[in-house]
Chains A and B, each alone.
Chain A
Amino acid sequence: MSPAARALRQSRNQALAALGTGAIFGVGLVLSGMTLPSKVIGFLDFFGDWDPSLALVMGGAIAVHAVVFRLVARRASPLFAQKFALPTRRDLDPKLLAGAAIFGAGWGLGGFCPGPGLTSLAGFSGDALLFIGAMLVGMLGVAQLEKLQERAKAKEKAKTAEAARVAADASPHATAS
């Protein structure tokens, strides 16, 4: 098979796998009760009428995935890609914890997290639409901010490099390059 045909087949297989897993994921979310915001809030209501169901959702998901992950980790590569795309960072930084804290506040406030919010769009509920719309605005905002930050950093770097070059030129000991 030519490399081009192979790449095409691989991306087609990846798309099919993603479609199937997205569907299974969605059925799991609905079956488990994650698309009921009041149930999610009931799980987070430790000091009220606590509903522990969601602990079992996470427990069930982790029980399956932790076992499979251990088996898969020995493979050199996934079926339809060259390599695994897994996070490697293990350090804790303020950005991670601040982000998680902000996410948790929104989760407890609305009772939706991203997956169930998206799955609930199917019911054309105004709540889910509003939630997902606002979520996308928040995500775009962060992406935009990070882009600006990166640009500023690049500019700063260029500036210091330019200053160093000028200083080197001005120096009487500088050798012509």
Chain B
Amino acid sequence: MENFTPWTALAGGALIGLAASILLVANGRIAGISGIVGGLLAPVRGEVGWRVMFLVGLLGAGVVMTFAMPESFAASPRTLPLVALAGLLVGVGTRLGNGCTSGHGVCGISRFSPRSIAATLTFMATGAGVVFAMRMLGGSA
């Protein structure tokens, strides 16, 4: 537990919850990142603008934060082929399962949605399983 960062984790989490709340109050939308991106890949009239703007805000925050907190960005500890495989799995999985960490894990659980609770337990379990398997195979997680 030497890397435990409780205060920044809580503060960052609260900001994520705040952003999801404002999007709900203002636009009546779920702040699910995979859903927002997915909606752009099969565009519907009147549904494109806000999605693009959300992603612009997300990337803009990333740009500002690379200057404010450069130590908070890092490459994946995995090899590039594994990173590519990971991306593919995340893309397929989030579309089949209708959501990711934000849509199911934050927004869905906050609504006590049974589907989101089941999805979150499932992706946490398989995620932990893969990390465990990698530890067994490679010696380190």
A contact set with B: CB distance below 8 Å:
11, 13-39, 41-42, 44-54, 56-66, 68-69, 72, 75, 77-81, 83-87, 89-92, 95-115, 117-123, 125-127, 130-143
CA distance A64 to B89 in the complex (A): 30
Question: For residues 5 through 23 of chain B, which have their beta carbon under 8 Å from a beta carbon of chain A?
Answer: 5-6, 8-23
CA distance A27 to B16 in the complex (A): 8
Would A68 and B24 count as touching, CB distance under 8 A?
A: yes
Q: List B contacts of A138 (CB < 8 A).
A: 87-93, 95
Question: For residues 103 through 130 of chain B, which have their beta carbon under 8 Å from a beta carbon of chain A?
Answer: 104-111, 113-115, 118-120, 122-130
Bits for B121-141, please: 1 = Cβ < 8 Å to A, else 0.
011111111111011000001
B contact set with A: CB distance below 8 Å:
1-6, 8-31, 33-34, 37-38, 41-42, 46, 49-51, 53-66, 69, 72-78, 80, 82-98, 100-102, 104-111, 113-115, 118-120, 122-132, 134-135, 141
**Chain A to chain B contacts (Cβ below 8 Å), 12 pairs:** A24-B18, A24-B61, A30-B12, A32-B15, A33-B9, A101-B97, A102-B93, A103-B123, A115-B101, A118-B59, A122-B61, A138-B95
Would B85 and A100 count as touching, CB distance under 8 A?
A: no
Q: Which of these, A41, A109, A120, contacts B85 with CB under 8 Å?
A: A109
Would A20 and B22 count as touching, CB distance under 8 A?
A: yes
Would A69 and B24 count as touching, CB distance under 8 A?
A: yes
CA distance A105 to B1 in the complex (A): 23
Question: Other than the known A120-B62, A131-B84, what 11 A-B pairs have Cβ atoms closer than 8 Å?
Answer: A26-B62, A27-B15, A42-B3, A56-B6, A58-B13, A72-B25, A87-B98, A103-B93, A105-B130, A122-B73, A131-B90
Would A45 and B89 count as touching, CB distance under 8 A?
A: no
CA distance A68 to B51 in the complex (A): 22
CA distance A140 to B42 in the complex (A): 9
CA distance A65 to B21 in the complex (A): 6
Tell whether A24 pairs with B19 under 8 Å between CB atoms, given A85-B28, A102-B96: yes
Would B25 and A53 count as touching, CB distance under 8 A?
A: no
Would B106 and A61 count as touching, CB distance under 8 A?
A: yes
Min C-beta distance of B139 to chain A, whole Å = 11
Would A106 and B88 count as touching, CB distance under 8 A?
A: yes
The total of Cβ contacts below 8 Å across the A-B interface reads: 505
Interface of B is mostly: helix
Would A65 and B130 count as touching, CB distance under 8 A?
A: no
Would B77 and A114 count as touching, CB distance under 8 A?
A: no
Would A81 and B94 count as touching, CB distance under 8 A?
A: no
Would B124 and A130 count as touching, CB distance under 8 A?
A: no
Min C-beta distance of B132 to chain A, whole Å = 6
Q: Which of B16, B37, B59, B85 lies at the interface centre, i.e. has the most chain A CB atoms within 10 A of its CB?
A: B16
Q: List B contacts of A103 (CB < 8 A).
A: 89-90, 92-94, 97, 100, 123, 126
Would B3 and A110 count as touching, CB distance under 8 A?
A: no
**What 9 pairs across the A-B complex have the smallest Cβ distances?**
A138-B91, A99-B97, A32-B12, A22-B57, A60-B13, A26-B61, A110-B86, A134-B87, A106-B89
